[in-house]
Structure 1
């Protein structure tokens, strides 16, 4: 790892990294959380309705507050879980509202605290680790504190409820932080795999570029050799024509025609190389025929 990596605190989600995500992510991931939250809320609601010996007034207040958590999650929570990053204002506002709707009935009816099992995961989803741990602690401890201030229970009930809150808080913190650690390790492995794939693609791209460069070098050498051979032949023919102009005009004309044919053949050869085809002499003929033509042309050019 590089020594200059940022030391910022890693995200604390139980699912995808922070930031807006594809809408399909909700269908693939958060549907299961919907089912889980619905089961916990329904079970808690039944316990509240059939719970401890409580007057009608407090029970109605508890039911009304806790019932409001369902539309609060459906109308606000799902969208926040899907689109918001950690510690975003909407995420914090949603959790504060959810806590207020929870703490009142949990102080009036102890059975409401079962809903902690639905609230805790949402804290880890929407807050970074440090803030999530603080929020989970508050959610577990605050209902007991409010209940103790309102009800003034005896020491036995206070001890039992406090012990339950501490155990529940410790369990939530332990399980939540462990899951976050596992998911962070999985995300790190996924990042390393993505970097490895990108490195392989870069190596393949560089190899292809190197191959293309080598092919261009080979092609340039072949074109150079073809043109050099053609120009050498033309130079020899020019010298021959210069020596024949004064005393052998028919032979000079023949060499001029040979110069034109040599120029055309070299032009065709260069075009064939640029087009990626084989040598022009091999086009439509066998290697022996091409060699015979090459030998005959050499004889015409040199007179041997």
Structure 2
């Protein structure tokens, strides 16, 4: 058997594709941060605040950019690592400081990037706590900027709550989408793995079936042929010992023909072709030759009867019938101690063909065993094409092997 190498490129797993997609999106995080920092910085510069306030806010923005470049940009792939947490804490502290000294409120723009960073770099519970703490801090800063004016409290509370709720809802929604994408990718990978396992199992089943088929072919052809060769060689020795040269020559000619048939069978098994007996003959002709060979080799009076009009059958059906006859006659020759055997093939039924091999040998108790590998192979072959086989025998009453197969 030639083992072929699978040259199909390995399939990229869906989870790996998803990871690559997330990585490819990182540049947009960088771009968004850069744009919002730039817009905020320009707004601060043209807002007309004092030099000190402007310098503090710009320094805070620069600090956020540096923290992101050093640690934050790695947080998407490695969330909740110490440096990721350090980035989030430092970035929010710097932004809260910038907002606290910003009298025009431009620095609030940076919340649109830091809130998404918080959700992207943290577990859900941690992100909710971060959002809550930051929202409370922003509310306190707003109250401080109004000199703790009680009349401003309701508006600040409502604005803070809406901001907090919107951040939580959007964060949870995005996290859910991400989790669903990951779950879908995992399910696809598991499906492909299952399909690969099923394909491997199917290949293994095919290998086992092919081994069984070859075992049956070897048993039904080569093994029986070699048995015939051994039997004929012993007959030649016996004839020579008696000085019967003519009989020895006849047996040698038959031995040569048997060996040639066996060689043909071996070549055809390798080539997975039709059995050699059927290559250029009908089934009836092959059975007639088989019966004649058994009679010549063993001295058993074997005969063939045909009922009905012979018709050409599918190749697989003729193989099953021929192999059944070979196995049954081999058992007659080796085990039955029979004086005669009869092969009957019936085409009388328009829906099926029946082959029966009966001998007058010693028989055996069928409940003591199934007759060995060969008869098991007969049953298996018949079942493979929708047929059935049965063996009837009893001590002293001979044996009958009967196979029915559909046309």
Q: Corresponding residue for 1:6?
A: none
Question: In 2, are the aligned partners of 1:140 and 1:165 still within 8 Å (CA)?
Answer: yes
Question: In 1, are the aligned partners of 2:142 and 2:156 still within 8 Å (CA)?
Answer: no
Query: Structure 1's 79 and 185: CA in aligned 2 closer, same or farther, altered over 3 A?
Result: closer
Query: Structure 1's 293 and 182: CA in aligned 2 closer, same or farther, altered over 3 A?
Result: closer
Q: Corresponding residue for 1:251?
A: 247
Bigger shift: residues 254-263 or 167-176: 254-263
Is structure 2 residue 160 aligned with structure 1 residue 165? yes
Q: Distance in 1 between matches of 2:290 and 2:194?
A: 53
Q: Distance in 1 between matches of 2:221 and 2:193?
A: 42
> Which structure 1 residue ranges, 5 or more long, are not aligned?
1-15
Q: Corresponding residue for 2:236?
A: 241
Q: Corresponding residue for 1:92?
A: 85
Q: Corresponding residue for 2:123?
A: 128
1:44: Cα distance to partner? 2.6
Q: Corresponding residue for 1:107?
A: 100
1:205: Cα distance to partner? 2.2
Question: In 2, are the aligned partners of 1:237 and 1:301 still within 8 Å (CA)?
Answer: no
> Which structure 2 residue ranges, 5 or more long, are not aligned?
1-13, 302-407
Query: Structure 1's 17 and 142: CA in aligned 2 closer, same or farther, altered over 3 A?
Result: farther
Query: Structure 1's 268 and 97: CA in aligned 2 closer, same or farther, altered over 3 A?
Result: farther
Q: Corresponding residue for 2:59?
A: 64
Give matches, 1:1-304, under 5 Å: 22=20, 25-27=22-24, 29-51=25-47, 54-81=49-76, 83-84=77-78, 86-109=79-102, 110-146=105-141, 148=143, 152-238=147-233, 240-245=235-240, 246-256=242-252, 258-260=254-256, 262-263=258-259, 265-267=261-263, 269-270=265-266, 272-273=268-269, 275-278=270-273, 281=276, 287-288=280-281, 299=292, 302-303=295-296
Q: Distance in 2 between matches of 1:158 and 1:94?
A: 31
Question: In 2, are the aligned partners of 1:230 and 1:266 still within 8 Å (CA)?
Answer: yes
Deviations 1:126-164 (A, max 9, x none): 100000111122233323424645874423445544433
Question: In 1, are the aligned partners of 2:236 and 2:248 still within 8 Å (CA)?
Answer: yes
Q: Distance in 1 between matches of 2:254 and 2:183?
A: 72
1:264: Cα distance to partner? 5.4
Query: Structure 1's 185 and 118: CA in aligned 2 closer, same or farther, altered over 3 A?
Result: same
Q: Distance in 2 between matches of 1:132 and 1:290?
A: 81
Coordinate RMSD, CA, aligned:
3.6
Question: In 1, are the aligned partners of 2:61 and 2:94 still within 8 Å (CA)?
Answer: yes
- SS of alignment partner, residue 117 of structure 1: helix
1:224: Cα distance to partner? 0.7
1:292: Cα distance to partner? 7.2
1:103: Cα distance to partner? 1.6
Larger Rg: 2
* Structure 1 residue ranges (4+ consecutive) displaced by more than 6 angstroms after TM superposition: 289-298
1:171: Cα distance to partner? 0.9
Query: Structure 1's 240 and 127: CA in aligned 2 closer, same or farther, altered over 3 A?
Result: same
More strand by share: 2
Aligned length: 280
- SS of alignment partner, residue 288 of structure 1: coil
Bigger shift: residues 113-122 or 233-242: 233-242
Q: Distance in 2 between matches of 1:292 and 1:62?
A: 104
Question: In 2, are the aligned partners of 1:281 and 1:290 still within 8 Å (CA)?
Answer: no
TM-score w.r.t. structure 2 length? 0.58
Question: In 1, are the aligned partners of 2:222 and 2:266 still within 8 Å (CA)?
Answer: yes
